[in-house]
Structure 1
Amino acid sequence: MFHPLRVSEVERLTDDSVAVTFAVPPELRETFRHTPGQHVALRRVGDGDGIRRTYSICAPADEHPVLRVGIRLVEGGEFSTYALKELAEGDTVDVMEPTGRFVLTPRAGYFAAIVGGSGITPVLSIASTLLAREPEARFCLIRSDRTVASTMFLEEVADLKDRYPDRFQLVTVVSREEQQTGLTSGRLDEERLAGLLPALLSVDSVDGWFLCGPFGLVTGAERALRTLGVRRKTIHQEIFHVDDALAPPAPAATRPVPAGGSTLTATLDGRSGSWPVQEGESLLETVLRSRADAPYACKGGVCGTCRAFLVSGEVRMDRNFALEPEETEAGFVLACQSRPATTQVELDFDR
């Protein structure tokens, strides 16, 4: 469900990114209370169900949390262009309640993150909340950016280093310019990370890994960690951008779409309905024809907002960059990427 919120601040971070803060009225404070690492979907007022985009919350989850998101300009991106060039204090934006499972509930332990570009946004919330709440926690942040000038939340990360010098380790890499100190420039690919990580920290002692950024960095980091013997269940990932040239092609259907068509039954907010699936449409599109309140944001298999439980029937997913293997094994699917493989399919969006 969307709520119209007033913009209280638009802060320029770099030439191509801003941080946007929303004023949350008292009656909605619990609605917008977030777990560190979650994101919200934004929609321009007046766009109806047109332009929606998800952005991670960068603020710590304090007792009185602030709703602040980081937005980086994407070439051709309608909402990011609007946010950087038009959005101003006093404007109103439709904001959906926080969601997402790329989260860390503060607890004692040793945690590490590998991020690229705007992937710092949710990790900033995770690290700042963890270090403030849990004195027995440590955090290592390995971040990659194109240049120092393009680095988002530079001051906020430096502040964490100053406040927690013994518990926060920061490693920075820039890919397009030389640094006077620190690591040499270049991309953090699988081969480089496999050699670099053991020299930076005790890989075996890390209780949880958080990978966030573009598709290539996240998948390369995961492969490097698996090469180093890290267990899959300790690796959490969120992809911010998928370059179609790098992403694997959609898998071929394991069975043909039912010749006689298919019917979808879906439960959403306690109400159920059944509708015929039209040729070529995803299950999310089927639901949206009758239920405009169906949850979604990116429609690209990246954000996970349309996650639903497959109660019965079979589907094929074209792409999945949001669900963890444990989630798909448990029966969850992305409605925006799912197409029916049986004549009857039932989804539950409420689980």
Structure 2
Amino acid sequence: MVPTVPTFHPLRVRSVERLTDDSAALTLDVPPELRETFGHAPGQHLTLRRVNERGEEIRRTYSLCDPARSRPPSLRVGIRLVEGGLFSTYALKELTEGSTVEVLPPIGRFVLQPRPGRFAAVVGGSGITPVLSMAGTLLAREPAARFCLIRSDRTTASTMFLEEVADLKDRYPDRFHLVTALSREEQHSGLPSGRLDTERLTALLPALLSESGVRETDGWYLCGPLGLVEGATEALRALGVPRDRVHQEIFHADTAVAAASAPPPGARAMSGSATVSATLGGRGGSWPASQGETLLETVLRNRSDAPYACKGGVCGTCRARLLGGEIHVDRNFALEPEELDAGYVLACQSHPLTAKVEVDFDA
């Protein structure tokens, strides 16, 4: 079967439900003929697209928060307003019931398929969104599963999906354990205020689950800002959790932009004369790269259907397999070590180092 390139579909906005002062849940209707196309696994996300008044195409990814369904009649994502965010500002201030949004079918490898066992998540802010889908799906489908959620937010008022998480706690009191930390507000009970950094998590997790319980948890899911995810990863490593049980998805990496690795001397010297070959949707092509371009930029100049969303090394939408040549990668917050070992790269962050580079978006 020849691979097909996912295409955008116009979906009608059913509702825009305000969650906090700076966030909302966007619900989209899925017509019957597209429901199989939009079937999703727990933890996957959607890519949304708009064209602004200047004709510029803006794409962003948002995680699905409802339990997974194979033929969903609707899709619900959580959107938090980002300062200066071109899509989040539009979504929260301009989208209304009856509006139309262009949407790609669900993608993503930050997924928890229901199975027996003990699972846990450490999330911050809007990082609750995919984990809410994971926990809801797991607990509903697998009676032999348990889930521990450790979430961090600034204040109660800024906490997304409060009611949905409380509902999980009410429905599964013996199998769902919730721990909340607020960084800017004291709680009457529970954890003292403050950020969940490496030191604090290293002490907290064994107290919640026991040291052996932390190590024996079948899967850890970390989602949210870069600092929280890195801190949780370090804590789990220090507590002896096997690497293959830790899964992560970064939602915000702005603080790392300035610290992005610099290319080695001469790293982009080949850009003016390099040729990029790419396979996409079963069709191949080869094109000259312009000075300083990423692989994605070269491909997009010739194939407008090349997959991408954030262009910041965070979402992983532009993942491709490197088949030949050498590249320099500016930064990577999306691919896990096993994907890198298998030869996958982020096209939006990769620059040619050799005269010929070949990638496969279908792999």
- Pick from 297, 300, 307: which aligns with 1:295? 307
CA–CA separation in structure 2 for the residues paired with 1:301 and 1:41: 15
2:295 aligned with 1:283: yes
Deviation (angstroms), 1:45? 5.3
Is the CA contact 1:4–1:45 (under 8 Å) kept in the aligned structure 2?
no
User: Equivalent residue for 2:36?
Assistant: 30
CA distance in 1, matches of 2:337, 2:196: 24
Distance 2:323 2:115 in 1: 34
1:126-182, Cα deviation, whole Å (9 max, x unpaired): 000000000100000000000001000000000000000010000001000100011
The answer as to whether partners of 1:258 and 1:343 remain within 8 angstroms in 2 is no
* Structure 2 counterpart of 1:39, one-letter code: H
Q: Work out whether 1:55 is the aligned partner of 2:67.
A: no
2:203 to 195, 203, 207: 195
Give the aligned partner of residue 330 of structure 2: 318
- Which residue of structure 2 aligns with residue 83 of structure 1? 91
Q: How much has 1:118 moved relative to structure 2?
A: 0.1
Counterpart mapping for 1:76-155 below 5 A: 76-155=84-163
Specify the alignment match of 1:182 in structure 2: 190
| 1:217-256 matches, cutoff 5 A | 217-244=228-255, 248-253=259-264, 256=267
For the 8 Å contact 1:19–1:70, the answer to whether it is kept is yes
Equivalent in the alignment of 2:286: 274
Q: 1:173 corresponds to which residue? A: 181
Q: Which runs of 5+ in 2 are unaligned?
A: 1-6
Residue 251 (structure 1) shift: 4.1
C-alpha deviation, 1:250, in angstroms? 1.5
Distance in 2 (CA, whole Å) between partners of 1:232 and 1:282 is 30
Q: Note the residue ranges of structure 1 that are not aligned, 5 or more in a row.
A: none
Contact 1:54/1:297, CA 8 A, preserved across alignment: yes
| 2: CA distance, partners of 1:114 / 1:28 | 33
Q: Would the alpha carbon gap of residues 236 and 229 (structure 1) be closer, same or farther in structure 2, given more than 3 Å must change?
A: same
Does the CA-based 8 Å contact 2:216-2:241 persist in structure 1? no
Query: Bigger shift: 324-333 or 48-57?
Result: 48-57
TM-score by length of 1: 0.97
- Residue 333 of structure 1 aligns to which amino acid in structure 2? V
Question: How far 1:64 sits from its partner (Å)?
Answer: 4.4
| Aligned counterpart for 2:27 among listed residues 21, 26, 46 | 21
Instruction: Answer whether contact 1:22 1:67 (CA < 8 A) is retained.
Output: yes
Secondary structure in structure 2 of the residue aligned to 1:75: coil
Moved over 6 A (4+): none
Matched, 1:8 2:14: yes
Q: Distance in 2 between matches of 1:64 and 1:29?
A: 5
Quote how far apart the aligned CAs of 1:247 are: 6.7
Question: Across the two proteins, how many residue pairs are aligned to each other?
Answer: 351
Distance in 2, matches of 1:2 and 1:64, equals: 17
Give the C-alpha shift of residue 249 in structure 1: 2.6
The amino acid that maps onto 2:311 is K
CA RMSD after TM alignment: 1.5
